[in-house]
Chains A and B, each alone.
Chain A
Amino acid sequence: MKPHLKPEDAVNLIPDGASLMIGGFMGVGSPHRLLDALAASGKRNFTVIANDTARPGYAIGKLIRAGAVSRLIASHIGLNPETQKGMIAGEIDVELVPQGTLVERIRAGGYGLGGVLTKTGLGTIAAEGQRTIDIDGEQWVLASPLKADFALIAADQADYIGNLQYQLTATNFNPIMAMAAETVIAESREILPVGMIPPDIVKTPGVIVDYLIERAA
């Protein structure tokens, strides 16, 4: 059985300055109870790797509002003016990465690959500072792997040994991030007895999940 933690106790595992991959797309499929506890904890100086920062004060937007994020790697911050303000004020160091490249960088980190070659961004300012590789006369951008100390992910159903399945568009980055972090903390809508999730439906095998967040009271 995987340890079940209250959100506040899970947050105690996370030190100031940790790198965090956080699942979700505009807050859909984000681990909301965990993010609430993290934002309230007063911890700070996090590096956050996520698709976006949702809206002001919502989901990852709570960490932004709490001033807990000093570095951000994301594809889109357009719907959270507080992130943009933090970037302009020099409080948040923001690296913008094309969405498909971001997910492949995370995948490469979790799948033991040295990087991924993509056409996306080639010849644009998004490829500045990155290596371009010539293969048989064709140019590719080398996207480097990303890993993190923690993955904070959300699932629809978990079982007691941490097998996870996801729902609809709440899947997004979650199963990819689960592979790319040292410690994986999963918040699931429900937790079921082992065997209740058919093996074919399991998207993230429990063997890579370290902690589950307890059921909501």
Chain B
Amino acid sequence: MKPEEIIQRRVALELKPNTLVNLGIGLPTGVARYIDPAAGILFESENGIVGLAAKPPEGMDDPELTDAGGNTVSAIPGAATIDSAVSFGLIRGGHLEATVLGALQVDEEGMLANWVVPGKMVPGMGGAMDLVTGARRVIVAMNHTAKGAPKIVPKCTLPLTSIRRVSLIVTDMAVIEPTDAGLVLRERAPGVTLEQIVAATTAKLVVEGEVPEMKLGVGGA
């Protein structure tokens, strides 16, 4: 299984039936593939849609039905399209159950940096700051390291996205929960050892007894 598939399948298990969820562009978008369609999870996109679904078959796109990356998508029956003020009202107002997004760094306090590398990459924060500040749960979905360099660090050196602690970190190696006691190692990816995880993480990890192997969603394709 590819690293991103491990992450996507594990994140899919975190999403609760009949809730509103925002998936970031890129790796998080793929989480939708591993969701049970009967679970009634509604996906929204901050450009203004509740009830977002996958890209339609070739030739059936509507150029005015897009996700936050500007890619054409489809909508489920019962979808609602909304203006940007309503969209961010949903996000900030406590109506969004979970946001799943990538990270450049996450630190021992569960702080997230994911929008800028000063002097190198200045894309702007888009909706990330609102999502991380406003969603009831913030799930970071990312590769454990970037070109071998650890991304889970003692203290973020990049500018933070929010001063709100993220809820869960899911990587291709581990599931980690930021808590008052620090970063608790909850699960290992299949075939990955505790030592490998520790070696790929510069932040201090809290290990409470046996760390089980992560369960992965079986649905989807």
Size class of the contact patch on chain A = 35 or more
Q: Does A27 contact B (CB under 8 A)?
A: yes
Q: Does B184 contact A (CB under 8 A)?
A: no
Q: Report whether over half of chain B's contact residues are helix, strand or loop; otherwise say mixed.
A: loop
Q: What separation, in Å, do the CA atoms of A25 and B82 have in the docked complex? A: 13
Task: Note all chain A residues with C-beta closer than 8 A to B77.
Answer: none
Q: Which positions 1-50 of chain A face chain B at CB distance < 8 Å? A: 25-29
Task: Note all chain A residues with C-beta closer than 8 A to B49.
Answer: 168-169
Instruction: Given A28-B47, A124-B163, check contact A78 B88 (CB 8 Å).
Output: no
**Are A101 and B130 in contact, with the CB atoms below 8 A?**
yes
Task: Note all chain B residues with C-beta closer than 8 A to A126.
Answer: 125, 129
Q: Does B148 contact A (CB under 8 A)?
A: no
Contact with B along A154-167 (1 / 0, CB 8 A): 00100000000011
**Are B92 and A119 in contact, with the CB atoms below 8 A?**
yes
**Are B163 and A120 in contact, with the CB atoms below 8 A?**
no
Most chain-B Cβ atoms within 10 A of its Cβ — which of A29, A76, A77, A100?
A: A100
Q: Does B134 contact A (CB under 8 A)?
A: yes
Shortest CB distance A15–B (Å): 28
Interface-side segment among B34-42, B65-73, B171-179, B205-213: B65-73
Q: Which residues of A contact B (CB under 8 A)?
A: 25-29, 51-52, 54-55, 74-79, 84, 87, 96, 98-101, 103-104, 107, 118-126, 156, 166-176, 203
Known: A79-B70, A122-B133, A169-B47. 8 other contacts (CB 8 A): A25-B84, A28-B66, A55-B70, A98-B125, A103-B85, A120-B129, A120-B133, A126-B125
Q: Which residues of B contact A (CB under 8 A)?
A: 45-49, 62-66, 68-70, 75, 81-85, 87-88, 91-92, 121-130, 133-134, 159-164
